[in-house]
Amino acid sequence: MKLMTRVATIALTAVAATASLKADTNSTNSMATGKDVKAPVVAATPASPMFNLNVSENYDSRYMFRGVNEVPNTGILSTTFSPIWHITANDTLTVPIWYATAVGKTFPNGLQNYRELDVPVSYTHAIGNWTLGAGYQLYVYINQPSATHPGGTGIQNEVNVNVAYTYKTGIVTWTPALFYYYELGTVNNYTYGSVNAGSSFLSPQLAASVPLNFLKSDGSITFNPNVQYNFSFAYNDGSYNNGALTKPYSGANNFQVQLPITWQITKIVSLTGYVAYSYQGANLVQTSPSTVWGGASVGLSF
């Protein structure tokens, strides 16, 4: 699910992965799970091999992405396949491929089986408690209705940069972070393009990880809340007006809070469940002012 935003989750997961690699401990380090991300992402394996692989099966009751209800009237099922390369103790490269399909009928024109394939590449570098990141993401939208999309397929190209700082107070790990996304558009304004080229999106966030020791004294159950207040710079569209979308919107986009709980059952298997809430007053397309949704995932870490 896109709980935080996929790239935000990728980067914060990489922060946790790098921290555990440097510490070289066997403690669970689930700093941030989920995606705004598309079903909660499995916590990085806490050991210190050069390569890790995370795989998860996910369900979301709504597909909320950057404040917009992307697929109205239904939830989505998705699979995440995420190889992680620990280049050095401070450098991590992650490629979390994500494939999703709508659970049921989605749009009024009767089109069904909306599908999406995302191929992100994310690099992070740790400097003490700081983590700097940059990445690229290809989105492929299949069966997305639009007069300008041949066969209903849309493509989105995006680059991003991010910075995060991690610290602890007692048993709680805090990670304030800032993510910036910029849309490249498509080559020669090709008609498959689906997001306003040259637009951007800014996402200040605060994530935390709290071991629920009253449930499991070994720290294997963690509460991982994330709060964000997002800004659109011609990224999202407003609602329909006489059958046409209003001009791209710039300004405060939405406030969002996610409340995931992850149980690391073994070193390999984890379960995550979450509820989330988003408020937007920008009249964003096909999105209510207030939206509550939830989901769950099963993850494997190797």
CATH of the domain at 226: 2.40.160.40
Q: Is residue 107 predicted with pLDDT exceeding 50?
A: yes
pLDDT of residue 36: 53
> Does residue 286 form part of some domain?
yes
> pLDDT-based confidence at 137, cuts 50/70/90?
very high
> pLDDT-based confidence at 39, cuts 50/70/90?
very low
The residue whose two tokens read 């697929």 is 71
> Does residue 211 form part of some domain?
yes
Q: Distance of CA 141 to CAs 58, 65, 101, 209, 284, Å?
A: 18, 13, 10, 33, 19
The number of folded domains in the chain is 1
Question: CA–CA separation, 245 vs 284, rounded Å?
Answer: 10
Measure the N-to-C terminal CA separation of the chain; round to a whole number of Å. 21
Q: Is residue 23 predicted with pLDDT exceeding 50?
A: no
Answer with the residue of higher pLDDT: 42 or 142: 142
Handedness of CA 67, 70, 73, 75 (dihedral sign): negative
pLDDT of residue 241: 59
Residue whose C-alpha is closest to residue 160's, from 179, 173, 141? 179
Task: Domain of residue 32: give its range.
Answer: 6-301
Average pLDDT over residues 112-129: 92
> Does residue 172 form part of some domain?
yes
pLDDT of residue 248: 82
Q: Distance of CA 109 to CAs 116, 130, 177, Å?
A: 19, 48, 40
Average pLDDT over residues 52-77: 92
pLDDT tens-digit readout, 278-294: 999 988 888 899 999 99
Q: Is residue 7 predicted with pLDDT exceeding 70?
A: no
> Does residue 1 form part of some domain?
no
Q: Residue 19, SS3?
A: helix
Q: Distance of CA 90 to CAs 48, 133, 276, 281, Å?
A: 12, 11, 32, 40
Residue whose C-alpha is closest to residue 67's, from 296, 285, 297, 294? 285
Lowest mean pLDDT among 66-80, 104-118, 143-157: 143-157
Q: How far is CA 203 from the centre of its chain?
A: 12
pLDDT tens-digit readout, 250-269: 999 999 999 999 999 999 99
Question: CA–CA separation, 228 vs 283, rounded Å?
Answer: 19
Contact 76, 143 (CB under 8 A): no
pLDDT tens-digit readout, 173-227: 999 999 999 998 765 445 555 677 889 999 999 999 999 999 999 999 999 999 9
> pLDDT-based confidence at 237, cuts 50/70/90?
confident
pLDDT of residue 222: 98
